[in-house]
Structures are given as structure tokens and as C-alpha cells.
Amino acid sequence: MNGDSGNVTKSDWFGNENGIHGYPDASLSDCGYGIAQVTTGMDGSYPDPLDTLHAGAVTTDYAANIAAGLRILGEKWNQLKDMGMSANSGSSAYIENWYMALWGYNSGVYTSSVNGGLGFFNNPINPSYPADRKAFLRYSYDDASRPGEWNYPEKILGWAEVPQLTWNGEASYAKPDMPLSALKTPPYDTFCDSSNACDPAAADPCPSWNNLCYWGKGVEWIGAQSSSNSSTEKLSYSLGSGEPELQSKYDHGSCSDYPSVYSRAIIVDDLGDHENTYDCGDFEAYQDGKFTLQVGDNITTRRNDGSFRATPYIANIDLHQLGAGFDRHVYFTHSYDYGEVFHQVTGRWQVHPASLPSGDQSGERFKVFVHLPSHGAEATVRYDFIPGDNTAGAQADYCNINQGTRSAGGETWFEMGTFSFWRGGRIEMDNIQKGGTGDDNVVFDAIAFVPFNRADPGACALVDGGL
């Protein structure tokens, strides 16, 4: 979303085929970082890793990420050129000629003198890809929902030909200059002949599925190449231009504000250490409360078959960040139905125990407000009010809130009502909700505790057990 910060763009970091239901498998993980999905130099277990500064830049700075990706792509182009593997005229000015370099960018260039070249995985004749597939995105944006049906070069060139759309339906970048109104990609049998033990007429064109299938020579599918039949870059900005001003869809509001006129509120935010997001510094009294997140049900056991039941490893996969809400940061996950403890994420907000009375004393009453972000919240969730151990007979209560409609599209403090707390008292909310399907966003934002001297049930009709 334009103007929003969030988690870095990642590939299959968890090694579970981009799923949210399976345990992570580090041995199968694909640690691609950012828009260029940079892997080279990002894993310390491989040769020539980047130092911490540069690896951090690749992870968090889009310009550094693109620069790293282009450097790697250029290396693949040069490797292929040194091996005599050029596409068409071999001119780097034509976008179609980068097909094999993109292939090598994703799955590597094998420089061995025997059966070197490009592996079979990204060969368009590979039967893993449907033989009747159309050009990626050319006829339907729905192609993006099943990207595994196209090889890597086809996907990259498809996104070049059909730009991603922004929130307001505008292309997020310029199309190339395409004299044929589309990129001219190679026929699927272009990289399949006797030189790589491949038969384009066979159901399994290269049955050995080993280095005999590697493609190791130049190829031509655009004859007499020129600007009349091949695509070239289109520069939207001249070299040396400054970065365009970012147009945000949503107003992020002020860094921190108080609910209504209550400047004495104790605000417990989801960022306990208050990172400097959007140049937002610490706010007053931020240390007077505590926010914690728990993933899973906090129970790890060994099953009879020797495997572990460890819910945090799965619940953490579907936990994300967004640059919205109080102090311009929220955590969010998705709502799941009862019993889905492997996806449970629980947030807890509590006033510092030193500011609360012991259970044998009168409770400390607060008017409670929950902050809801202008965007990113969709689910109806239950906030549980837990008073803490007390001799006053005060019981827990709860309030159901539709996070999406209550925010009304703006940064909002919603008044819940008054409630009394003792030491150990807190407010809890999790994403396990009746009828949850794993689709609606559940956000964890700030809660404000305002010292108050009288009971006020508020919109939630809370039963305040304080004396």
C-alpha cells in the first residue's frame, strides 16, 4: 500500500511452501529479500556473505535492494556471454534478450565445462508448467493468484508488460516501449533439442532430469532484431532526478494523541520499546504500562510418535506489521475459528503493577479507550477485561468490537467504559473468534487507561466491580 510501512517482502522464508499451516523447515527455506528477492550474500552459511550493514540495507531499503538485484542480474548476463550464450542479437538494449539472464538469476548459471549452462527447472518446456498456459498476466490479473504455473523469466517479464496497480487503479510503474504492444517471449520449445537430451514432442521432454537437460548455447527467436520488433526501456525520470514525493492513500495522523481531553491517560501501545517509526519518538508515560504478544497457546508437548506439538512456530508465520494506528504501528494477524490454537495470537495490555492496588484494597478505576487504525482492521473481536485477584468480588467482563466499522476509516479512540483493576489485572484480545475463516485482519493497537472517579459502563456496558 502506497505510503505504508510493513514487513519486508519475503519469499518462502519458512520452507513450508509459503503456507501458514505447516511447520517451518529451515532446510527448505528460500530467503529472498525485498522486491528483487535477493538471496546472494544474505545467508551466512554460504560463501561471500554481505556484512551486517549491507545485508540490513538490502532488507530494509528498496533502492539498495534493487541495486543489489541489478548487480546480480548483470553478473548472470556476463557469465552467459562468456559461455557464448546470447539471446537473439545479444544486445542488452532489448528487454527480451534478458530472458536467459533472468533464468540464471533465479536458478543459477552452471559454469562447468561439461554440461554447463542453465538448469531445467526454469526451462519453459518443463512439464511442471502447463503446456497451454498463456503469457503471464497478459490476459488476466488472476494469473498472479497461481504463479507456480509459470517459470521465473515469464513471471518477471509478465510484470514488466503488465504493471502492478496501486490502490487507486493506476499503474505503479511505466510499461516498456513495446512496438508489438507486448513482449516477444520465446516459444516453449526454444530450449529443447538433442543438445540437452530433450524431445519437445514428448510428454516428459527430458526424462533424465539431471545435468544432461541443461541448456548451454545461444538461441534466437527474434530474427533481424531491431527497435521495430523488440522492446526497450522507458525512462519516466531523467538520470539524476530526485525521488518523487510519496502519495499515501491514508492519512497517518499525528504520532501520538490522547483520547478526547484526557491528557493524563496511561497509553499502552503495541510497540513496547517505541521504535522511531515515521519519526515518532517516545510519548509521555509510555513506561507506565506493558504490552505483550503471545503466539500459539504456549503449550509445547511431544506426541507419541516423537514429533512436537509447538503452536508458536506456526502462529508466528501469520503475524505481521503495518504502519498505521497509534504511533503509526500495529501488529496484525487474521481471525480463525474456535479451536485453531495453532494460529492463536494473544495481545495483553496492562498498567504497571506498581500503579495498581493489592487485592485486599479498593480497585483502581480507569476509563478505557481502544485505539483503532484508519485501515488494516476488519474483524469483530472480543476484548476480555480481567480485574486481577481481589477481595471485592469483581469479576471479568468483555466487549465485542468490530474493528473495521468502529474506526470509520480514521484514526480513532473508541471509548469502551470504566473498569477497575488490581495487580495482575489486564485486558486481553486474541484472533480466535466465532466463524473466523483466516481472512479478516485482526489488529493489535494501543489502549488508553484514564484514571476515573466514578463508574461509567460506556458503549460496552461494562460491569465495573470496583468499590
User: What are the tens digits of pLDDT across the range 166-198?
Assistant: 777 888 899 999 999 999 999 999 999 999 999
pLDDT of residue 283: 60
Q: Which pLDDT belongs to residue 284?
A: 59
pLDDT of 56 above 60: yes
The contacts of residue 24 (CB under 8 Å, 6+ apart) are: 14, 15, 16, 313, 317
pLDDT: which is higher, 272 or 323: 323
φ and ψ at residue 350, rounded to 5 degrees: -150, 145
Express as a percent the part of the chain with pLDDT over 90: 69
| Nearest Cα to Cα of residue 186 among 219, 161, 162, 215 | 219
Give the pLDDT score at 135: 98
Task: State the pLDDT at residue 6.
Answer: 80
Q: Give the global pTM.
A: 0.81
Type of residue found at 394: A
What is residue 277's predicted lDDT score, i.e. its pLDDT? 61
Per-residue pLDDT of 93-122, as tens digits, reads 999 999 999 999 999 999 987 889 999 999
**Residue whose entry in the numeric block shows the C-alpha cell 475463516:** 437
Average pLDDT along the chain: 90
Average pLDDT over residues 263-279: 77
Angle made by CA atoms 72, 77, 79, in degrees to the nearest 5? 90
For the residues 444-448, what does the mean pLDDT come to?
A: 96
The mean-pLDDT minimum among 29-33, 158-162, 185-189, 462-466 falls in 29-33
Return residue ranges of the chain for CATH 2.60.120.
266-451
pLDDT grade, residue 281 (50/70/90)?
low
The pLDDT assigned to 195 comes to: 96
Task: Give CA–CA dist 327/230, Å, rounded.
Answer: 49
Q: Which residues of 195-224 are buried (b: 16+ CB within 10 A; e: fewer)?
A: ebbbeeeeeebbeeeebebbbbeeeeebee
Q: Please report how many Cα atoms fall inside a 13 Å half-sphere around the Cα of residue 71, on the Cβ side.
A: 11
Q: How confident is the model at residue 352 (pLDDT cuts 50, 70, 90)?
A: very high
Q: Measured between alpha carbons, how far is 35 from 60 in angstroms, rounded to an integer?
A: 10
Q: Of 183, 216, 211, 193, whose CA–CA distance to 103 is shortest?
A: 216
pLDDT of residue 305: 82
pLDDT, position 278: 63
CA angle (71, 77, 81) in 5-degree steps: 145
Q: For 402-422, what is the mean pLDDT?
A: 93
Per mean pLDDT, which range of 28-32, 137-141, 179-183, 202-206 is the poorest?
Answer: 28-32
The single-letter code of the amino acid at 367 is: K
Domain range 266-451, CATH class: mainly beta
pLDDT digits (tens, 9 = 90+) for 246-261: 777 777 666 668 898 8
Binned at pLDDT 50, 70 and 90, residue 279 comes out as low
Q: Is residue 17 predicted with pLDDT exceeding 80?
A: no
In the predicted model, what is the mean pLDDT of residues 70-92?
97
Mean local confidence (pLDDT), 437-448: 95
Q: How confident is the model at residue 233 (pLDDT cuts 50, 70, 90)?
A: very high
| pLDDT reading at 245 higher than 90 | no
Residue 274 has pLDDT above 80, yes or no: no
Give residue 239's pLDDT: 86
The confidence score (pLDDT) of residue 425 equals: 97
